[in-house]
Structure 1
Amino acid sequence: MGILNAIWTFFATYILQKPPYMVGFLTLLGYCLMGKKWYDTLAGTLKAIIGMLILSAGSGGLVTNFRPILAGLKDRFNLTAAVIDPYYGQNAVTAGVEEVFGKGFSQVMTLLLIAFIVNILLVRFNKITKCRTLFTTGHVQVQQAATAYWLILFALPALRDNNFALLIVMSVILGAYWAVGSNLTVKPMQELTEGAGFAIAHQQMFGIRLASWASEKLFGSKNGQKEVKKVGDLKMPGFFSIFSQNMVCTAILMTVFFGAIMTVIGKPFFVKAEAMKEKDNFAFYVFNTSLQFAVYLAILQLGVRTFVTELTASFQGIADKLLPSSVPGVDCAVCYGFGDANAVTFGFLAGLTGQIIAIVALILMGSPTIIICGFVPVFFDNATIGLVANEKGGLKACLVIPFISGLIQVFGAAFISGWVGLANYGGYLGMFDWDTVWPMFTVVMHYLGYIGVGIVVIVLLAIPQIEYRMDPKGYFLITEDYDAYLEHKKAKKGA
């Protein structure tokens, strides 16, 4: 028993919680099931791990680059508020869960394991459940398990004295959310990537599907009569044509936008924060810091190209042998290697504008909970939503939908973090689904108790059933044979 426990502890610590090695493990498993030669398996596994490490370096660099600016905004305007950021949110739960609920944080990892098993079972029996995606982003699972732990303890006080019931309720809800949420992104991602064979397993899965639907309905071409203008279709005269180059566009926009913010914050703060030295030139520091955003975004896109081919190819072995008709759910940054790269930047800036306006509104209204925007929600939510919106509704959708998302992120986070008490500990997860779907779950369970739990689970499990009935033939075809799905879609439209 001790050996099994040691093996599980190692797996949970060094594989399940570390996305590069979780993706590497899935790639290794897939190629082994496919019967690949050992050297092909080794090469593919290493490429998948290295690609994810490159992606992590890009993502981590973006976050690290932004955090001094975030801290400067807080210091410059003397705001005491909750930061909407997954890491701040996880730290807030860790700091407050024992004080508020008398519970230890150690149960979160047990919750994560059982919820992951629920996800696997829902996908294994997908002919019944209609769930096609396995949630593979371990760091996101840890963040979500922590926040769900707090929200459900708040909503259902009776569970605080019953650890077994607590784990079962939480695991079923969270496991169903992982399976159903990532499943909702299959269609948008397959259409964006032209059948690359992955879904998104992140923090804005319902947001992605909602953005795809709203963009197509509100901004898309009506009956094919007129093609919508996308970000890539912008015809800019003269020197404006440089904006058609992704790196240049990102560098210029970030320099203008963050240059202004950093100038307002001022050099003394960055010197005090040891981000720069007193003797350094502030203008050059601002320019260099702004350019780093373009650098890290390019690194991130390189990581995507490096590992996504290996993962999707190897996952075919898992799908054929263990989880038929399924696809892997991966980090949202994976989709940035597809579609129009400039839509990522446009979506991010539109979302950031929405967040800033919402924060100003909270201050003017005298809200008891003030939100400070974190880079992870403002970038990874809105860049992803902008990319999907541009694909379905063009430039207008790419600007409007992420802008609305930015408003929702701040107002939703202010409501739920203030209500449940997480704001008192300085942070909340703050990403789209956790500002919309999870607050609704919490309200329903808080006021309806165990009946509310039943309603939440039933609604979640009903979503893929409804989606399946809207297109029974194309539902599994889109993951099994994308070319055949396109033919089916064309025939359906013609009928």
Structure 2
Amino acid sequence: MDFFTGVLEFLKDVLSQPALLLGIMAFIGLVALRSPGHKVLTGTLGPILGYIMLGAGADFIVTNLDPLGKMIEKGFNIQGVVPNNEAVVATAQQILGVETMSILVLGLVLNVVFARFTKYKYVFLTGHHSFFMACLLSAVLGATGMSGWLLVVIGGFFLGAWSAISPAIGQRYTLKVTDGDEVAMGHFGSLGYYLSAWVGSKVGKPEDSTENINIPEKWSFLRNTTIATGITMMFFYLVAAIAAGSEFVSTLSGGMSPYLFAIMGGLKFAIGVAIVYSGVRMILADLIPAFQGIAQKIIPNAVPAVDCAVFFPYAQTAVIIGFVCSFIGGVIGMVILGFIGGVLIIPGLVPHFFCGATAGIYGNATGGRKGAIIGSFVNGLALAFLPALLLRRFYGNGGRSQEDRKLGK
């Protein structure tokens, strides 16, 4: 490995870590504000530790969603394609590793340039999403025949520009979600959330918020989001376990009773969500005040664009409603694709949780309960149909013969 490649590899490792990006930005902001040393230290570590906590909760959720997805596929005999970021990442890194890292670094630099010199004042801090997008850009541009510096420059320009522009597109919706807190959506699934907010504005009223649902006294324990999430997910896990059968579930449970395994899976999922909420509170407590230094001294009116999970505490009931309705939309989309002869897109529980929950939050902000339900449902349909359209565009019949599709290959 030469020196240049080693430097790029190190920068890629640093810049693809959202925790470190948040910490760096908080540090710069606090220094710009000339905060005392102890406040710089605590204000820098707060967002870093908060994001690590958020990531730990997200990893816990993903780990517990994996067996649920397998039980659903087995129990309901679903076969098809599960869209997966990691597949593109692995391919791009293997074939175009240096180009991908160069696009990432150039894109992050250009994002700051765009924020400083254009009206799009958004600094994209979700490093792992920037890394995913850099991999996608290198793969797509490479497939068109581009290579070398041209691929890097065009890919980096698109990454930097979209990192600044995409939060701006729906910032009016984001401000409704946060009730005026100056943060933006730093996630490349944002168009789905803005669509959900637009749909919500057409079907409901924001004052009918999911967070204002009138719950009778005997059911008041459901106001505790962790308990409500645990009960909801235990139901999901038990239905999936019963459908899959105890023999199959036993292959996943490591010797534990299949139905006890399902119950524990639902409860662990709820704990993962609670950890995410705790991490988000740590991030916001230090990041927003520190970012004022950047907005005042370095990039006038700069706004931090952060991960979708940061928005979960703003409407915790909408998180679960959004997940459930998005997943239902994904299932219905899969059934429709089956009827029309398209490639089956199996609803991935991870994207339907994180993206569906966020769509529910945005739909709720503009349309209350109806907005959360219908907006996230539309998001679920999009998560089914858009990958199918891309597969058909690039691989014809999903890359498979009609006979293979009948066989589920």
TM-score (norm 1): 0.75
Q: What secondary structure is seen at the aligned counterpart in 2 of 1:82?
A: coil
Change (3 A) 1:6 1:84: closer
Q: Do the aligned partners of 2:88 and 2:136 also contact (CA within 8 Å) in 1? A: yes
CA distance in 1, matches of 2:300, 2:384: 39
Q: Do the aligned partners of 1:82 and 1:424 also contact (CA within 8 Å) in 2? A: no
Point out the more displaced range, 68-77 or 306-315: 68-77
Pairwise CA distance, 1:299: 0.6
Q: Name 2:197's counterpart in structure 1.
A: 212
Q: Over aligned residues, Cα RMSD in angstroms?
A: 2.4
**Count of matched residue positions in the alignment of Structure 1 and Structure 2:** 398
Change (3 A) 1:203 1:123: same
Task: Output aligned runs, 1:418-429, within 5 Å.
Answer: 418-421=392-395
Q: Name 1:150's counterpart in structure 2.
A: 139
Q: What secondary structure is seen at the aligned counterpart in 2 of 1:372?
A: coil
Whether 2:121 is the aligned partner of 1:132: answer yes
Whether 2:397 is the aligned partner of 1:398: answer no
Q: Name 1:10's counterpart in structure 2.
A: 10
Q: Do the aligned partners of 2:89 and 2:136 also contact (CA within 8 Å) in 1? A: yes
Q: Name 1:385's counterpart in structure 2.
A: 359
Q: Name 2:231's counterpart in structure 1.
A: 252
| Unaligned 5+ runs, structure 1 | 99-103, 222-227, 426-495
Pairwise CA distance, 1:92: 5.3
CA distance in 2, matches of 1:86, 1:337: 26
Q: Name 1:488's counterpart in structure 2.
A: none
In structure 2, which of residues 253, 256, 259 is the aligned counterpart of residue 276 of structure 1?
253
In structure 2, which of residues 284, 305, 309 is the aligned counterpart of residue 308 of structure 1?
284
CA distance in 1, matches of 2:223, 2:281: 21
Q: Deviations over 1:241-282 (max 9, x none)?
A: 44333122211211112321232123333433xx4223x222
CA distance in 1, matches of 2:395, 2:56: 33
Point out the more displaced range, 400-409 or 171-180: 171-180
Q: Name 2:61's counterpart in structure 1.
A: 62
Q: Deviations over 1:339-365 (max 9, x none)?
A: x31111001100011001111222233
Q: Deviations over 1:162-193 (max 9, x none)?
A: 42222222222222211111222432222322
Pairwise CA distance, 1:304: 0.5
Q: Deviations over 1:405-462 (max 9, x none)?
A: 101110111111343249669xxxxxxxxxxxxxxxxxxxxxxxxxxxxxxxxxxxxx
CA distance in 1, matches of 2:203, 2:79: 38
Pairwise CA distance, 1:301: 0.4
Q: Name 2:98's counterpart in structure 1.
A: 106
Q: Do the aligned partners of 2:345 and 2:387 also contact (CA within 8 Å) in 1? A: yes
Q: Name 1:191's counterpart in structure 2.
A: 176
Whether 2:342 is the aligned partner of 1:350: answer no
CA distance in 2, matches of 1:93, 1:71: 27
Q: Name 1:52's counterpart in structure 2.
A: 51
Q: Name 1:20's counterpart in structure 2.
A: 19
Q: Deviations over 1:343-396 (max 9, x none)?
A: 1100110001100111122223332x2212223320111111111111211101
Whether 2:113 is the aligned partner of 1:121: answer yes
CA distance in 2, matches of 1:9, 1:320: 32
Q: Name 1:230's counterpart in structure 2.
A: 209
Q: Do the aligned partners of 1:86 and 1:376 also contact (CA within 8 Å) in 2? A: no
Q: Do the aligned partners of 2:175 and 2:181 also contact (CA within 8 Å) in 1? A: yes
Q: Name 1:450's counterpart in structure 2.
A: none
Whether 2:274 is the aligned partner of 1:298: answer yes
Q: Name 1:366's counterpart in structure 2.
A: 341
Q: What secondary structure is seen at the aligned counterpart in 2 of 1:53?
A: helix
Q: Do the aligned partners of 1:83 and 1:373 also contact (CA within 8 Å) in 2? A: yes
Q: Deviations over 1:226-251 (max 9, x none)?
A: xx422122223464444333122211
Q: Name 1:464's counterpart in structure 2.
A: none
Q: Do the aligned partners of 1:85 and 1:376 also contact (CA within 8 Å) in 2? A: no
Q: Deviations over 1:130-151 (max 9, x none)?
A: 2020111111111122123233
Change (3 A) 1:229 1:43: same
CA distance in 2, matches of 1:153, 1:92: 12
Q: Name 2:261's counterpart in structure 1.
A: 285
| Unaligned 5+ runs, structure 2 | 401-409
Q: Do the aligned partners of 1:231 and 1:390 also contact (CA within 8 Å) in 2? A: yes
Q: What secondary structure is seen at the aligned counterpart in 2 of 1:236?
A: coil
Q: Name 2:403's counterpart in structure 1.
A: none
CA distance in 1, matches of 2:198, 2:378: 14
In structure 2, which of residues 285, 292, 296 is the aligned counterpart of residue 320 of structure 1?
296
Change (3 A) 1:3 1:414: closer
Pairwise CA distance, 1:74: 4.0
TM-score (norm 2): 0.89
Q: Do the aligned partners of 1:219 and 1:394 also contact (CA within 8 Å) in 2? A: yes
Structure 2 letter corresponding to 1:404? V
CA distance in 1, matches of 2:302, 2:225: 33
Q: Do the aligned partners of 1:27 and 1:45 also contact (CA within 8 Å) in 2? A: yes
Structure 2 letter corresponding to 1:57? A
